Amino acid sequence: MPLLDTPSRPAATRPGASAHSHGMPFVPDQSRAERRRSFRAADFPRPSGREEEWRFTPMSRLAGLLDDAPSERSLEWEVTGPDALRVSRMERSALQGWGIPAPGDLAGAVVTTQATAVTVLEVPTGVELTEPVRIRRTGSGGRTLSHVVLRVGAQARATVVLEQHGDTAYGEVLSVLAGDGADLTLVTVQEWDATAVHVGEHDVVIGRDATVRHIAVTLGGSLVRLSTNASYAGPGGSFEAYGVYFADAGQHLEHRLFVDHEAPMCSSHVEYRGALQGDSARSVWIGDVLIRAAAEGTQTYEINRNLVLTDGAQADSVPNLEIETGQIRGAGHASATGRFDDEQLFYLQARGIPEQEARRLVVRGFFADIIAKIPVAEIQGHLTQAVERELAATDTCGDASQRQEGSA
């Protein structure tokens, strides 16, 4: 399957379109299947912020990542793990035939237009990596663009952890290709400095009878927008996407999921959980699932849960399910946003646990199920401690608020 651009259909051929659209060149896309994909930045108009895929994003804070201009810097890489992992640099033209999906928005197309050299991480066919691969990437200012391809061969098995640190404006495209029967767990951890901006697109292609688990943990950065797109190259594939995010005052953390069921007898499960604290803390979760007419026997479910810890924080959660065939095993979605469960707090306090400690226990349990899915004990422990530090900040804010109320 070659590298392929997918232009939108002409206006006259779209559902509900006509030759005259009141001055607009085309009607808005009615389905995720209609949206343009291209490797060329010139194929995308510059968004105004009113478009469906950009309306939640603070456009003024994107730090030039929509500008079709060369990268200013590069990230510093530190790779540890089994020698069987192959790391190389290749021209994108040499990857024809690999089936790499084209980006789905301008930010991704800027990366593939400007970053003509691609970093390739490859696990050979039939190889099982007995230890996780850990890749630490550190920014040092400026504007950074990079395209990375992670290719896991047929019947291969691997766990890969990508950790992001430092300060930069980072435009990223990560193309993940899982061969037939492959098993991949991919963990991405965003612990950027407080001023960093990260706009990333992760495109996952799941082969026949392959399994991919994508786990995103976002704690740092001023603005982080991650778009994860999954598609199936054959029947029997399984995709699981899990996420944890904790937004502090002034942070904007946005996660967008699109699962494109185009092959029969495939499954997907999406589960993201977020907590927010502080004035103007903002999180956005968009979960789009499309079951095409050919995807009979599909099983899919998605859920997003948000816990708002303080006043002034806002969580937006939009699950979308589009079904083109009735011949499926099951499909559903759910979304919930709220404050602490009073019954849980009462139960814990009735057993002598102070209120602040009870709140910590509730939040710790809220995230525990997702963190436990990361198959690297050191990463689990580190993230648990990171959540504890966030909660300590919440306690400090709460104490300060109580002192102000007491002195009023």
pLDDT tens string 276-293: 999 999 999 999 999 999
Q: Is the pLDDT of residue 22 over 50?
A: no
d(CA 159, CA 229): 19
Q: Is the pLDDT of residue 221 over 70?
A: yes
d(CA 209, CA 206): 8
Q: 65 with 196, same domain? A: yes
Number of domains in the chain: 2
The chain-wide mean pLDDT, for the chain, equals 89
The reply to whether 272 falls in a domain is yes
Q: 115 with 251, same domain? A: yes
Last residue of one domain, picked from the residues 288, 319, 339: 339
The residues, ordered by sequence, that sit 6+ positions from 361 with a Cβ below 8 Å of its Cβ are: 348, 353
Q: Which residue has the tokens 């980006």?
A: 103
Q: Is the pLDDT of residue 45 over 90?
A: yes
User: Burial of 323 by CB count in 10 Å (0-12 exposed, 13-18 middle, 19+ buried)?
Assistant: middle
Q: 184 with 100, same domain? A: yes
Last residue of one domain, picked from the residues 315, 339, 363: 339
Last residue of one domain, picked from the residues 339, 365, 387: 339
d(CA 69, CA 12): 34
The reply to whether 10 falls in a domain is no
Closest CA to 170 of 196, 191, 188: 196
Q: 396 with 320, same domain? A: no
pLDDT category at 74 given cuts 50, 70, 90 is: very high
Q: 315 with 220, same domain? A: yes
- Check residue 213 and give its pLDDT: 98
Q: 258 with 325, same domain? A: yes
Q: 375 with 399, same domain? A: yes
Q: Is the torsion defined by CA of 380, 147, 111, 64 positive or negative?
A: positive
The reply to whether 22 falls in a domain is no
- Check residue 356 and give its pLDDT: 80
DSSP 178: E
268 contacts 300 by C-beta, under 8 angstroms: yes
Q: Regarding predicted confidence, which is higher, 395 or 188?
A: 188
Q: Rounded to whole angstroms, what are the CA distances from 126 to 35, 56, 132, 152?
A: 36, 42, 16, 9
Least confident of 138-142, 258-262, 362-366, 370-374: 362-366
Structural domain harbouring 346: 341-408
pLDDT category at 362 given cuts 50, 70, 90 is: confident
296 contacts 263 by C-beta, under 8 angstroms: no
Q: Regarding predicted confidence, which is higher, 197 or 404?
A: 197
The reply to whether 60 falls in a domain is yes
The reply to whether 27 falls in a domain is no
pLDDT category at 339 given cuts 50, 70, 90 is: confident
Written as one letter, the residue type at 84 is A
- Check residue 395 and give its pLDDT: 59
pLDDT tens digits for range 305-330: 999 998 999 999 999 999 999 999 99
The residues, ordered by sequence, that sit 6+ positions from 171 with a Cβ below 8 Å of its Cβ are: 65, 71, 107, 108, 110, 111, 143, 144, 145, 146, 199, 200
Q: 382 with 333, same domain? A: no
- Check residue 331 and give its pLDDT: 97
The reply to whether 9 falls in a domain is no
Q: 209 with 170, same domain? A: yes
Q: Rounded to whole angstroms, what are the CA distances from 39 to 5, 262, 312, 315?
A: 7, 21, 39, 32
Q: 53 with 105, same domain? A: yes
Run of H or E residues at 107: helix 106-114
